[in-house]
């Protein structure tokens, strides 16, 4: 078993949304030093932020086991996004794929490249619902509440 556990959120609202999520998970599984251990069901959700005329998202969460350090995992996720056609044009705009590192072990990181835990995850039902499916008892290392508690308190 690889030594680190990371949780990621995935989203897509352009193209073949479900296939984009599957392709991202397959690419991560194929990457060296990453094993995809659990994947939530898919959720169709309203876009949050960004332009008003966006299509609905498909969202999911996954648990990864990895030997990669957090910044290296971020680089792999960004590479997968680029490979699958992600274009960063409009903040919170439409995208073929979005991969966010939500949690990495119980680490707290806040630098120019990476913030873990993801800074908005506790306010986003589209993140918490799928994450709760695979890790309801996981405790947020800053807020000290389980994912289930965070979801119960999320509007």
User: What is the set of active-site residues?
Assistant: 86, 95, 98, 100
Q: Could you tell me the CA-to-CA distances from 135 to 14, 33, 47, 113 in Å, in that order?
A: 27, 22, 24, 26
Q: Which two tokens stand for residue 31?
A: 């990457």
For CA atoms 77, 109, 4, 18, the dihedral sign is negative
- How far is CA 75 from each of CA 26, 69, 71, 102, 134, rounded to the nearest angstrom? 16, 10, 6, 15, 24
* Nearest-angstrom CA–CA distance, 116 and 127: 14
Residues facing 9 on adjacent strands: 61, 100
């Amino acid at each position: 078993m690889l030594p680190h556990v990371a949780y990621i959120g995935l989203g897509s609202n352009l193209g073949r949304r479900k296939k984009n999520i599957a392709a991202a998970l397959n690419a991560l599984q194929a990457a060296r030093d990453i094993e995809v251990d659990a994947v939530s069901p898919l959720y169709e959700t309203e876009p949050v932020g960004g332009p008003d005329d966006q299509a609905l998202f498909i969202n999911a969460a996954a648990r990864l086991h990895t030997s990669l350090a957090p910044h290296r995992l971020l680089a792999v996720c960004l590479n997968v996004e680029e490979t699958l056609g992600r274009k960063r044009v409009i903040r919170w705009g439409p995208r073929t794929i979005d991969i966010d590192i939500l949690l990495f072990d119980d680490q707290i990181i806040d630098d120019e490249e990476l913030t873990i835990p993801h800074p908005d995850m506790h306010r986003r039902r589209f993140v918490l619902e799928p994450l709760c499916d695979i890790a309801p008892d996981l405790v947020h290392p800053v807020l000290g509440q389980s994912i289930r508690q965070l979801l119960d308190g999320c509007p």
